[in-house]
Amino acid sequence: MKLSGDTIKKMLSEGKLIRDGEELVNQVGPNSIDVKLGRGFKRLRAPRSGVIDFAEQQEYEYIEEGVDGSIVLPSHSFALGTTAEYVDLPANICARIDGRSSRARLGLVVQTAGTINAGMRGNITLELTNLCDYPIRLRPGDSVAQIEFELLDQPASLPYQGAYQGQEGTTGSRLPRMDF
């Protein structure tokens, strides 16, 4: 069952779902909460072999920001960003993050791997893609995505403890992981 905006507000006021979330009630809609970009954008460094191989660790570099923390995402390009918000999901709630339609209508695709597992704690890394023929300026504080929360039929017996648990800021892929 998806949580309503009223339930999200109540849980935020109780200190649940998002760290320091009681200050975010004005970002809650009918059934989701708008989340904002944080600081620290990254891009992939060119692979040594010229090919991204999932069996090899890839390297990232920070994108130089303007004095206001903004970057310009060139047309037809990809970067990583992060939510300013730090989620803290209990074992009985999972979530889904998606881009906002008003941004998508301008060519910005946000988050293509949108599942947030029950028990996840951390900032959410966003995959940012510019499908447009024109560059897009992105600023910390821009509202670019929304999170919907779902109540599980019972708490997860094994809440999320994966490679991204506790991540802070923009986090690149942690592939390859040989420990699962």
Task: Set out the domains of the chain in order of their start, with CATH numbers.
Answer: 5-46+59-151 (2.70.40.10)
Task: Look up residue 58 and give its two tokens.
Answer: 């890839």
Task: Assign residue 169 a region (left: φ > 0; alpha: ψ between -120 and 50; beta: otherwise).
Answer: left
Report DSSP letters for the chain, one per residue: -BPPHHHHHHHHHTT-EETTGGGGGGGB-SS-EEEEB-S--EEEPPPTTSS--TTS---EEEPPP-TTS-EEE-TTEEEEEEEEEEEE--TTEEEEEEE-HHHHTTTEEE-SS-EE-TT-EEEEEEEEEE-SSS-EEE-TT-EEEEEEEEE-SS--SS---STTTTB-S-----------
Catalytic residue among 14, 59, 65, 127: 127
Residue 61 is a catalytic residue: no
Return the pLDDT at 177.
65
**Strand 17-18 relative to strand 108-110, pairing:** unpaired
pLDDT at 180: 43
- The stretches in the chain having pLDDT less than 70 are 177-180
pLDDT for 113 equals 84
Report pLDDT digits (tens) over 121-152: 999 999 999 999 999 999 999 999 999 999 99
Sequence-distant (6+) residues with CB within 8 A of 39 are 65, 69, 82, 140, 169
| In the block, residue with structure tokens 């998508």 | 104
Alpha carbons 165 and 180: distance in angstroms, whole number: 15
